[in-house]
Structure 1
Amino acid sequence: MSASPSMIFLRLLRSIVRRGSLTVIDRAGRSHLLGDGSPPVATVRLSTDASDWKLVRNPVLGLGEAYMDGSLTVDDGRLYEFLDLLARNYGTEAGHPWMSLLERATARLKQSNPMGRAQRNVAHHYDLSPALYDLFLDSDRQYSCAYFRSPEDTLEEAQLNKKRHIAAKLMLDRPGLKVLDIGSGWGGMALYLAEAYGAEVTGVTLSEEQFAHSQARAAASPAGERVSFHLRDYREQRGPFDRIVSVGMFEHVGKRHYLEYFGKLRELLAPDGVALIHAIGYSDVPAPINPFIRKYIFPGADLPSMSEVFAAVEKTGLFATDVEILRLHYAETLRHWRERFLAHREEVLKIYDARFLRMWEFYLALCEVGFRQRTNMVFQLQLTKRIDTVPITRDYMAEAERAAEAREAKR
């Protein structure tokens, strides 16, 4: 007699959960205890509407869809603890056959984001209601990994730290440098570089909402005459620029376009120019992005391993002059976002419905777990066209950050 999909799903969970305590209440109301009884503890319930076959066919996607649709619920609202329990057991090793099979089956998928499709993909996420982002982001709407110099840093402090940290690596040692911000978001980074360093900044984005917000901010800024924003694909931009910065945009390039991306950076960069790329990646071998994230949150997104990044950089003739791996900084950033988002759940429900709220809760929790327990990380890659453009030690970065902090403290 063949096993039912419910039994297969439970077997899959048992193959993962060896430590901790997971109680699964199936559609018939029966309880199944998985794990060794130790913390952490979580309980999930499958309603009569739960699709067992969907959970079996693609558990990574199916869990997210079931939670989003309300057919899988977590007792006491402890979704994060449930995902954390699974990730702690799975860890960073490809030791579970069903997960390995899924990853191998999709490993050759290389996202393609030609012009036109790239703009549609961006609009799916970034053209949501601005009121939504105001509920959980910092006041500057920095929607990327913050930089926590201390565990006590607020989200606002950590995001300012991030901007200082990136500016230091850009070597903005004289005013008037021409800077290109690829994927300029809501304009915070571009305006910071113009206001704090006297740079002349061009920002490009594919999001109409972000473009409109950035223009309004520039009009109100004392450095507004030095900042211009454009609704434009970076591939259409002309140079040269003394500095190029790109924060949280490389994830949307698509693996098939990595060589094109770095080739365009080289074309746009002045001979003595410096570029700084800040992006999410994997600390292990190349792999596809989580299918739930790709389908519902960031269509067209792809995360690189460092081997994929450097393979593309090498072919363009650019020099990688510095790379820094930020490990738990994004986990802390996401914790702040998740807690703020859930604290404003009533406001979210006034903008979108309960399905959207659960979808985004799953997204934020899943990503935080990925940075704490899996192989997600953030890298900052500094690139030049000449080997002698930047100093041979990293001392200048810390000195520049201290000087910026002292200047800002006097304001």
Structure 2
Amino acid sequence: MVLEIAHDLGTLECIDPEFENILHATEELPQPEVVCPNMQEAEEIASLLASAAHPLIVAGRGAKSAAAQVIDSANILRADVATSAPAQGLFNSNGEFRNLGICGGFASSAAAAEIQKADVVLVVGAGLNPFTMAFDQAFSADATIIQIGVTAQATHERVNSFLRASATEAVSALSATLRKQNFTPTPRAFANPNPKKHDKGNPLAPDGCLDPRSLMDAINNIVPANRLVVTDGGHFIGWANTYLDVPAADNMVLLGTTTQSIGLGFNSAVGVAAAAGTDKMTVLVTGDGGGLMALADAESFIREAHRGVIVVVNDAAYGAEIHRYATKGIDKAPMLIPEVDFAALVGAFGARSKIIHALEDLEDFRAWVNSDEPETYSLDCRVSRDIIAPFMQELMKN
């Protein structure tokens, strides 16, 4: 909540009892409504899942509280599983299922092909936005799409069957029905048991700059697994969201995609660092354009983070605009940025910093991570703008 008042009212005494009560309210916030499923509809959906040759469960952030129940259903069905981008990490536990990673534009090419094979898709707590749906290309045209949610109706026209219910109650009912029916899954043989892995690229791109794929893969292998990742918006989200693993759902904070804006990375990372405390490393990934917009909050992040990492994907451009608009013939001159020395800028605020021209330049960063020193390390990564993320290639077609 934001309360705006005129500057000359700040020192006045409040004489409105009702307003005073609001300021000092101690009541707990109302809890989300628990919506119980229609059992007949739940049984029909369970039958659809039981008859599937290639069942797939897609979980979004709305399924976070029902993670145990969703995993239980996946184990019963021996289903493939995937998540929306913000919910990645929900299926990190081992089970009788195959984890395809993120559904939609951030999926690997192998995982996207497996998602296309699904004949029955159960969507739990996900809104099916254009990114999750890969602009309506994620699922086969013949697939039956079932959605569970608390909205009044389905959130996408592709949904064939909608069950209005809370995730925990609905998925529990599905699992109980399958067990009651003594459901036995059909054995499935997988040619590729781990298709969610992405192409790691090359150490350097043909233009001599860093290949963002190998860069992010290397950073992923250096940073401790217990991490919170926050991303600004821009072309680079295609690398951060696909190569940086997170330990659980909601550990990837996607401000750029949520607001469709850039320049929110440093200021958002301040709050994420406060939430991380001393338990988790906070990793901020920003572009050079958005990083310049939000630079005023870099000092706040450095001061707040117990152990923080700043990854600046520096391609000397507004990369998303280059790929979406310059490729269509629009003059790219306004989309270019001089190659800014973020190592010097952020270093002046107190961070340990280094320009990264090659993967070998990450060795000092690796040593710092292993040292457990409480400070922030900034990586000014000079990447090629010629390597285009798959999700951006999809956007360029639309």
Compute the TM-score of the two structures, normalised by the length of structure 2.
0.30
**Higher helix share goes to which structure?**
1
Higher relative contact order (CA 8 A, sep 6+): 1
